[in-house]
Amino acid sequence: MSFIDICLQLLPGMAVTIEIFLITLIFSLPLGMLIAVGRMSKHKIIQYIIRVYIAIMRGTPLMLQLLVIYFGPYYIFGVSIDSSYRQIAVMIAFSLNYAAYFAEIYRSGIESIDNGQREAAYILGYNKVQTFFSIIFPQVIKRILPAITNEVVTLVKDTSLAFSIAYAEMFTEAKRIAAAQTSMLPFVAAGIFYFVFNALVAFIMKKAEDKLNYYS
């Protein structure tokens, strides 16, 4: 099997990897904001629950979380799981996990904004929601973009963890082909794929950072 053939065979897997990547971001970026708001809540119980949640998500391996979410319904509730649940389990596990990381990034960003900004907005009559969306959040974005980039790059590589529940993303496929062909080439192709993917991510994030560089 030629390298080109291997790449072609990996193509559907690549699409799945990109899909995991995009769906995770679509859910975890907003969810992270919600969690960050809860984490900063004055309500002690909410704050405590969120803290425990974040601690678990960050303190245990994503692979383990993936297995728990995939097999949990069966082991705990005896619900039979069909293979279509794989995709859902991957999306849930990744989104919940990444939301926790994003939440902490948002929180540190929000807390780093000088309180004078809030006070100036208050005096000018902005309410809490207006202050957040027109004054605080735009400044937070600029500050946290480098940290977000780090997480996004990690996410690209983490998508390969979906192999642990045999979800047919690119890495799972590469492993399968490598075993079948007793060849290293699928892994080389996989490596190149992740590398290029991340180079693209880095490029886009750099563009975004440049775009926000109009003020300091």
What does 168-196 look like in DSSP terms, one character per residue? -SHHHHHHHHHHHHT-SHHHHHHHHHHHH
Q: Hey, which residues between 128 and 167 contact another protein (CB under 8 A)?
A: 130, 134-135, 138-139, 142
Least distance (Å) from another protein to the CB of residue 201? 24
Residue labelled with tokens 């937070």 = 140
Token output for 116:
């004078």
Report the candidate in 140, 141, 161 with the shortest Cα–Cα distance to residue 97. 161
- C-alpha to C-alpha distance for 83 and 12, rounded to whole angstroms: 17
Contact range with another protein by CB under 8 A, out of 69-77, 91-99, 122-130, 187-195: 122-130
Q: Which is nearer to another protein, 2 or 127 (CB)?
A: 127
Q: Which is nearer to another protein, 108 or 139 (CB)?
A: 139
Q: Which is nearer to another protein, 6 or 121 (CB)?
A: 121
Q: Which is nearer to another protein, 27 or 126 (CB)?
A: 126
The phi-psi region of residue 51 (left if phi > 0; otherwise alpha if psi is between -120 and 50; otherwise beta) is alpha
Token output for 171:
């890495």
Count of chain residues binding another protein (CB under 8 A): 21
Least distance (Å) from another protein to the CB of residue 152? 22
Report the candidate in 96, 94, 101, 95 with the shortest Cα–Cα distance to residue 164. 94
Task: Select from 78, 123, 207, 210 the one that contacts another protein (CB under 8 A).
Answer: 123
Least distance (Å) from another protein to the CB of residue 129? 12
- C-alpha to C-alpha distance for 121 and 123, rounded to whole angstroms: 5
- DSSP conformation class of 46: H
Q: Hey, which residues between 101 and 120 contact another protein (CB under 8 A)?
A: 114, 116-117, 119-120
Least distance (Å) from another protein to the CB of residue 207? 18
Least distance (Å) from another protein to the CB of residue 214? 7
Alpha helices in 112-184 (DSSP H): 115-123, 128-130, 137-158, 170-181
Q: Hey, which residues between 31 and 90 contact another protein (CB under 8 A)?
A: none
Binding interface with another protein (CB under 8 A):
114, 116-117, 119-127, 130, 134-135, 138-139, 142, 214-216
